[in-house]
Amino acid sequence: DEWLALRVFACAHGADGRAAPAPRSAGGEGERADGGEGGPGSGNDTKLEGTLPVLVYVHPWAVMGGRQDMLLRRSALISRQHGMHVVTLDLRGAGNSDGSSTLRGGPEVDDILAALSYASARFAGSELLLAGESAGGPFAGSALARDPRVAGFVAIGYTWGFWTSVLFGRHFKALMRARAPRLFVMGSDDCFTSIRTLRKRVARCIKESGNEYADFEVVQSVGHFALEGPDYDAHVAERIGAFVHRVLRGDFRRSVAATAGDARSKVEASGTALGLFRRAAAAACAVALAAGVAHAITRPRRARGVGHRSAAAARGGQQT
């Protein structure tokens, strides 16, 4: 059997500071879930009953160094400041999880579905939400399309671009069909996805899912890897927390039209020099992506218990 390593941030109070219903058992770190059948594991599966929402948070692509350690500070901020439980996991081949990571992320979707089932069982009665960063966004989006329990989805730096579509295109299609509210947060200088592409993709999400519960936010003067870095932990935590509470209140009604106009004006206002810079950054990201693929193809199969490189190295700009 193969195992997924999980961490659980169990919150004791809501966003308004009022205490949550008392759980039967306190949550802790280092939980493990069986990823084989997509259900809760054989470890500590004590149910935590309450009404606080629970967020399953997915890290960037393991092939290029992504692991759940990168999300721990953000998860703690989300849990403490926005009154919700957070579950992070190491996808297969990352961190302390067994198995080997894959290029296109099909098996990783099963890992995320297992984590969703674990969270639903562990926090009985809680609203279930899902978030993913970088390539973790496409993987999580496919899980969203397959799990109707999920009430909302946030993607940080979703890799919509041309080069990543070669690997993750099937995940794009799955996410577009999902009917839960979706929010995409991206840096204006993202090297994988242009604002124009983001706007078109979100509009297509609205069209194909048959509703307007999709939106995007652009963080100005920030690149793809910078948005994943520690300087933006508080900002990302705030965006995720605010979106979750919008979903829970039922007021996610903004269509893409308003933000699309803002994005279009920003694109048109950008100068030639900035355009050249973004093209160069996109080329650099394409090279990094190709290097990650080459590494994944040539590396030996990872043995059980062998750790990945440190989260600090991963945050140095090698993940996607």
- Tokens, residue 31: 């939980």
Strand order in the sheet with 182-189: 32-34, 3-9, 85-90, 54-58, 128-133, 150-156, 182-189, 214-223
CA-angle at 116, arms to 158 and 56, nearest 5°: 50
User: For position 209, what pLDDT does the model report?
Assistant: 77
What confidence score (pLDDT) does residue 253 get?
Answer: 52
Cα atoms in the Cβ-side hemisphere of radius 13 Å centred on 305 = 0
pLDDT of residue 12: 75
Per DSSP (E only), the strands in 168-260 are 182-189, 214-223
CA distances from 242 to 63, 248, 252 (A): 30, 10, 11
Q: Quote the pLDDT of residue 168.
A: 83
What predicted TM-score, i.e. pTM, was given to this entire model?
0.72
Ranges of residues in the chain with a pLDDT under 50 are 21-49, 254-278, 297, 301-320
SS3 131: strand
Question: Other CB atoms closer than 10 Å to residue 2's CB: what's the count?
Answer: 15
Which secondary-structure segment (H or E) carries 58? strand 54-58
Tell me, what amino acid is at 160? W
CA distance 197 to 194: 5
DSSP 19: B
Rounded CA-CA distance 51/137 in Å is 26
Q: Would you give the DSSP letter of residue 13? A: B
